[in-house]
Structure 1
Amino acid sequence: MPSHIALVGIGRMGTPLCGRFVRAGHRVTAFDLRPERQEAVRASGADWALSAAEAAAGADVLITVLPGPADAGEALTDAVFAALAAGAVWIDMTSNTPEAAAVPRARALAHGVDVLEAPMGGGPADAEHGLLRLFVGGDAEVRDRCLPLLESVTTRDRISHLGGPGTGYLAKLLVNLLWFGQAAASAEALLLGSRAGIDPGVLRDALAGSAAGSDFIRRDLSSLFAGDYLRSYGLGRIHDQLEAVTDAARDLGTPHELADAVLRLHRRALERFGPVDGELLAVALLEEAAGITLRA
């Protein structure tokens, strides 16, 4: 059945998602703190609200696609949850943390709103073409009820249900840890090979077909070789997400030596470049230390 969706957060990911929900036949009312996003919302066929509470008024689904945990905590007030229709569900697609999401989750439940977390893997192009990865955490019954809606933005085989509340957020953080760790390790290997006289492109091809191959080497290195440090996500937010992983490991008593090393590298990159956009700026820091670049 078509839903009345309140969509809060119309940025690089929220904009294509808004269009997909509309094309799937849902009624969408969107809000963003930036009034200039109204044009993109209306162009997609959705309605524009002047506040998150106004967007939520009478909606049976609230979807948040916000930059980070602090933004979600500030946006999701009691007034927003109180404005939703009876029996509504909140789906958080923000790259949140279990700890930060606990407060708005408690607010939602206090107002009788069911909660599902579904942080995303992928970029705006994946959102536009329905190729996102969703890392879902929450009650299985709520997940099953929301599956048709989630399939508006991806396919069922790309939806992973990790378990109860917090597991989806943590899984997304772990994906980020491994990706940024692979980026750093791959860059170190390529810089060493380059210094020893091996052409980086030749070494990349050799690694891609070996036991050390990864999606990062096969897919993302081409951007780096083109001089693109993937300026689509903020270095400050990357640092905070990596810090959340090491905090979780410390709290749960699991080893985190490598996670600490990845965090330290990105902290140094943040100190060097500032809170600018660039998912591969830690690699730029390694290039500076080596005195060479990996650009083709």
Structure 2
Amino acid sequence: MELSDEDDRKASELLQPGARITVAGAGRMGLPISRNLAAAGFDVVVTDIRHEVADAVTAAGARWEPTAGAAAARADVLITVLPGIPEVRALMSGPASLLEALPGGATWLDLTSSSPLVMRAIQEDARSRGVAVLEAPMGGGPDAAATGTLQLFAGGDAATFRRLLPLLEVIADRVRLVGGSGLGYTAKLMVNLLWFGQAVATAEAVLLGQAAGLDAEASRVLLADSAAGSEFLRHDLKRVFGGDYLPLFGLDRCVEELEAVTELFRDRGVPSELSEVVTRVHGQALERFGPVDGELMAVALLEERAGSLLRPVTEA
């Protein structure tokens, strides 16, 4: 197909393979993302406070740089893939902010689930330095990161989103610009709130049915095929039946994100009675079990209080 001058101009604005990408964070998400970006032809440099991951980084086809400032100094794009809000704030604000090292004209892409309220001032600081900003918190776990099948909830200006699209499509197979700055973070918090809320409500409902004599699997099938059906009922509850509480994410991080949601409700003046209950139950699970890995440990708490595990009779 012959391209018009406008098509040529737009194509030249897209981030090209060979661009230098600095990834801050080589954990269970950052490392496979770095591997995929390197395999796609980007020049990937990775930094992390844990220097013991250096060998894993080089094995992934990326270059290791132990000093974050040096890693960012020549970046076309800085990607932050960090555990949560405190880590992003520590890295990107204050006197040791990595924004000090980023060259003007670079772009900061934040893949971390975070709070739009916390990140607003940091994003404004980045723009004041000539750094473009795009947030794109991730949906999906390490397996999806490894296969490039994450879901991204992007927030920022359309031009920055378009320019980074070749990179985003290496990371994810579902990429959506949901709106301006802050709205990507907000969308991801909405998803998390509903999912954690469904976990609590579903566990309570099925525990009730089990106590009344209904088999847990029979209850799951019945509810999944009703007006109350959800992806949680159709898929995730089966993992609980097998004793899997999704140890892909720390319980303390779940609470951190739910607390960010309740703060956002208060900031916007929106009623949040149910959301506060969901947050409180997860906080109680954190008090009971500590900061263990397990996104569904609130369900484990409810099982403990009911004195009954959610298990089908056929699997007992």
**Paired residue secondary structure (1:29):** strand
1:192 partnered with 2:208: yes
**Paired residue secondary structure (1:151):** helix
Question: Do the aligned partners of 1:287 and 1:293 also contact (CA within 8 Å) in 2?
Answer: yes
Q: 2-side partners of 1:284 and 1:83: how far apart?
A: 44
Q: 1-side partners of 2:102 and 2:196: how far apart?
A: 38
Equivalent residue number for residue 56 of structure 2: 40
Q: 2-side partners of 1:127 and 1:50: how far apart?
A: 23
Of structures 1 and 2, the larger Rg is shown by: 2
Match of 1:72 among 72, 78, 88: 88
**Paired residue secondary structure (1:62):** strand
Equivalent residue number for residue 201 of structure 1: 217
1:82-133 CA distance string (max 9 Å, x none): 4334411000001111122124323322321100000000001111112111
**Paired residue secondary structure (1:11):** coil
Equivalent residue number for residue 12 of structure 1: 28
Equivalent residue number for residue 116 of structure 1: 134
Q: 1-side partners of 2:172 and 2:249: how far apart?
A: 21
Match of 2:228 among 194, 212, 225: 212
Question: Which amino acid is the alignment partner of residue 253 of structure 1?
Answer: G
* Structure 2: gaps spanning 5 or more residues: 1-15
Question: Which amino acid is the alignment partner of residue 115 of structure 1?
Answer: V
Match of 1:249 among 259, 265, 279: 265
1:39-58 matched pairs, under 5 angstroms: 39-58=55-74
Equivalent residue number for residue 144 of structure 1: 162
Q: 2-side partners of 1:138 and 1:110: how far apart?
A: 15
**Paired residue secondary structure (2:308):** coil
Deviating beyond 6 angstroms after TM superposition, the runs of 4 or more aligned structure 1 residues are none
**Paired residue secondary structure (1:211):** coil
1:50-74 CA distance string (max 9 Å, x none): 1111111211000000011110111
**Paired residue secondary structure (1:152):** helix
Q: 2-side partners of 1:144 and 1:160: how far apart?
A: 11
Question: Do the aligned partners of 1:53 and 1:80 also contact (CA within 8 Å) in 2?
Answer: yes
Q: 2-side partners of 1:85 and 1:141: how far apart?
A: 19
**Paired residue secondary structure (1:6):** strand
Identical aligned residues as a percent: 53
**Paired residue secondary structure (2:170):** coil
Q: 1-side partners of 2:244 and 2:64: how far apart?
A: 34
Equivalent residue number for residue 5 of structure 2: none
Question: Do the aligned partners of 2:69 and 2:101 also contact (CA within 8 Å) in 1?
Answer: yes
Question: Which amino acid is the alignment partner of residue 30 of structure 2?
Answer: G
Q: 2-side partners of 1:91 and 1:66: how far apart?
A: 12
Q: 1-side partners of 2:104 and 2:259: how far apart?
A: 37
Question: Which amino acid is the alignment partner of residue 164 of structure 1?
Answer: G
- Per the TM alignment, residue 79 of structure 1 is displaced from its structure 2 partner at its CA by 5.7
1:259 partnered with 2:275: yes
Equivalent residue number for residue 177 of structure 1: 193
Question: Do the aligned partners of 2:252 and 2:291 also contact (CA within 8 Å) in 1?
Answer: yes
Question: Which amino acid is the alignment partner of residue 120 of structure 2?
Answer: A
Q: 1-side partners of 2:238 and 2:51: how far apart?
A: 36
- Per the TM alignment, residue 204 of structure 1 is displaced from its structure 2 partner at its CA by 1.2
Deviates more, 1:26-35 or 1:81-90: 81-90
Question: Which amino acid is the alignment partner of residue 35 of structure 2?
Answer: G
What TM-score results when the alignment is normalised by the length of structure 2? Answer: 0.90
* Structure 1: gaps spanning 5 or more residues: none
Question: Do the aligned partners of 1:70 and 1:100 also contact (CA within 8 Å) in 2?
Answer: no
Match of 1:229 among 245, 255, 259: 245
Equivalent residue number for residue 83 of structure 1: 101
Equivalent residue number for residue 238 of structure 1: 254
**Paired residue secondary structure (1:116):** strand
1:144-164 CA distance string (max 9 Å, x none): 111111011122xx1121211
Match of 1:101 among 119, 126, 132: 119
Q: 1-side partners of 2:269 and 2:226: how far apart?
A: 34
Equivalent residue number for residue 128 of structure 1: 146
